Amino acid sequence: MIHVQNLTKVFKSHKKEPGIKGSITSLFKRTYTEYIAADSISFDIQEGELVGMLGSNGAGKTTTLKMLSGLLHPTRGHAEVMGYVPWKRDNEFRRNFSLVMGQRSQLWWDLPAADSYLLNKEMYSIASFDYASRLKYLSETLGIADKLTVQVRKLSLGERMKCELIGALLHYPKVVYLDEPTIGLDIVAQHALREFISDFNKNNATTIILTSHYMDDIKALCKRVLLIDQGKLIYDGELSGLTDSFSASKILRITFEENVEYQQLMILGTIIEHKDDYAIIQVAKEDLSACATHIFTNFQVRDITIEDIPVDEIIRMIFSGKTEI
């Protein structure tokens, strides 16, 4: 459904010295700085997949989605969505995808959402019967049916985001890009949106790319993730596989039969937490066997568990510049 090969986008920005002198100089001689927002990104997504796209601010996620939507023309590389080249903006392509951006609105601010939906109905040539049944299903499923006739500016952030999602899905697109759809929402609204997105994906075999800074969104919805860092795709695979690819450690949680001194545990690894008869220790994978042997030989153990480093922590460390923990 989506094929991306060596997709690259380079932005040029004009550098101007402050003051009148800088303004006059820039009229005759301009200096530009290049910024690579997306750097030779390649991946394929099959029909019906729900894929998470992760990256820190400025990593290139939104730029990639804009190129796949045809809003930006790449500097080089190639992409096809549903068999179409996005930036050629064929009408049939535009009828079959949606882009939802959590920080941008497609609804008219001073009008009720229902009025914006009528405009979408005409733009996408949705039959009246289909329009009525889809609007009823979407609004009732999201619990927003009684808010469609209220001015958008009077809605809460959660209500407004649900209305945005309805507007993007009324024409039942084959491909949907969700860019930070739960940003700023409370826990209840986030949970409701996640459930809806999951059900819509399963019931309609809709291909979805989801970007989010909330790991709960990704863990709840996506088995596969694309990890982008400084414009480069550094990981493409199952979310659970991040642990094997980037983590060189395990976490030991140990409850002893009696109190154990902090100094006695220091040789085992990095002590994350210690309190009387309980400790959490980070241990290198290659030292795990020797560490376990030492523990059972020298201490009376009531309980012990071995865990992977949490995915949230792995991603945080990657984005902070550490490629392995």
Q: Are residues 109 and 235 in the same domain?
A: yes
In the prediction, which pLDDT does 324 show? 52
**Same domain as 136, residue 45:** yes
Residue at 210 is within a domain: yes
**HEC letters along the chain:** CEEEEEEEEEEEEEECCCHHHHHHHHHHCCEEEEEEEEEEEEEEECCCCEEEEECCCCCCHHHHHHHHHCCCCCCEEEEEECCECHHHCCHHHHCCEEEEECCCCCCCCCCEHHHHHHHHHHHCCCCHHHHHHHHHHHHHHCCCHHHCCCEHHHCCHHHHHHHHHHHHHCCCCCEEEEECCCCCCCHHHHHHHHHHHHHHHHHHCCEEEEECCCHHHHHHHCCEEEEEECCEEEEEEECCHHHHHHCCEEEEEEEECCCCCHHHHHHHCEEEEEECCEEEEEEEHHHHHHHHHHHHHHCCEEEEEEEECCHHHHHHHHHCCCCCC
For residues 294 and 208, membership in a common domain is answered with no
50 and 120 co-located in one domain: yes
Residue with the larger pLDDT of the pair 64 and 26: 64
Structure-token match 């549903």, residue found:
82
Residue 323 is predicted with a pLDDT of 53
143-171 pLDDT tens trace: 888 999 999 889 888 888 888 889 999 99
> What's the confidence (pLDDT) of residue 320?
72
pLDDT tens by residue, 41-85: 999 999 999 999 988 878 888 899 999 999 999 999 999 999 999
pLDDT above 90 as % of the chain:
36
- Do the domain assignments include residue 189? yes
**Residue 324 located in a structural domain:** no
Whether the per-residue pLDDT at 325 is higher than 50: the answer is: no
What's the CATH number where 277 sits?
Answer: 3.30.70.1150
Q: Which residue type, as a one-letter code, is found at position 321?
A: G
Please state, rounded to an integer, the average pLDDT across all residues of the chain: 87
Q: Looking at the structure, tell me whether residues 133 and 218 fall in a common domain.
A: yes
pLDDT at residue 160, as a whole number: 86
Report how far apart, in Å, the C-alpha atoms of 126 and of each of 84, 111, 136, 167, 173 are.
Answer: 22, 21, 14, 12, 12
- Domain holding 260, by residue range, is 248-308
Shared domain for 126 and 227, answered yes or no, is: yes
Q: Which of 243, 264, 288 is the last residue of a domain?
A: 243
Predicted pLDDT of residue 255: 93
Mean pLDDT, to the nearest integer, of 115-140? Answer: 91
Chain segment 236-264, per-residue pLDDT in tens = 988 878 777 777 788 999 999 999 888 88
Q: Return phi, psi of residue 144, to 5°.
A: -130, 15
Residue 317 placed within a domain: no
Contact between residue 309 and residue 297 where contact means Cβ atoms under 8 Å apart = no
pLDDT digits (tens, 9 = 90+) for 261-280: 888 888 888 899 999 899 99
pLDDT of the residue at 102: 66
325 assigned to some structural domain: no
Q: Which of 19-23, 177-181, 214-218, 273-277 shows the lowest per-residue confidence on average (mean pLDDT)?
A: 19-23
Between residues 3 and 192, the one the model is more confident about = 3
pLDDT at 103 over 70: no
Q: Give the count of domains, the chain.
A: 2
In a domain, 26, yes or no: yes
The predicted pLDDT at position 311 comes to 77
Residue 9 confidence (pLDDT): 93
Q: Which residues, 6+ apart, have CB-to-CB distance to 64 below 8 Å?
A: 4, 7, 9, 38, 41, 53, 228
**In a shared domain, residues 292 and 157:** no
CB contact at 8 A, 178 and 164: no
30 within 8 A of 13, measured Cβ to Cβ? no
97 pLDDT band, cuts 50/70/90, is very high
On whether both 236 and 257 belong to a single domain, the answer is no
pTM assigned to the model:
0.78
Q: Rounded to whole angstroms, how far apart are CA atoms 144 and 142?
A: 6
Same-domain check for residues 134 and 219: yes
Q: What is the pLDDT of residues 289-310, one digit of tens each?
A: 899 899 898 899 999 998 888 7
Q: What is the CATH number of the domain that holds 78?
A: 3.40.50.300
Residue written as tokens 């006695």? 264
* Confidence at 128, pLDDT banded by 50, 70, 90: very high
Contact 177, 97 (CB under 8 A): yes
Is pLDDT at 92 greater than 70 in this prediction? yes
Q: Do 72 and 210 belong to one domain? A: yes
Tell me the one-letter amino acid at 72: L
Sheet holding 76-81, edge to edge: 31-45, 2-15, 76-81
- Residue 43 CA to residue 47 CA, distance in Å, equals 13
Question: What span, in angstroms and rounded, lies between the C-alpha atoms of 61 and 38?
Answer: 8
Q: What is the pLDDT of residue 96?
A: 92
148 shares a domain with 256: no
The answer to the question of residue 323 being in a domain is: no
Structure tokens at 34: 């290049």
Tokens of 115: 């009025």
222 compared with 183, residue with greater pLDDT: 222
Name the band, by pLDDT with cuts 50, 70 and 90, for residue 321.
Answer: low
- Phi and psi angles of residue 194, each rounded to the nearest 5 degrees, phi first: -60, -45
Asked if residue 49 and residue 180 are part of one domain, the reply reads yes
Cα separations in angstroms, 181 against 101, 109, 218, 226:
6, 18, 12, 17
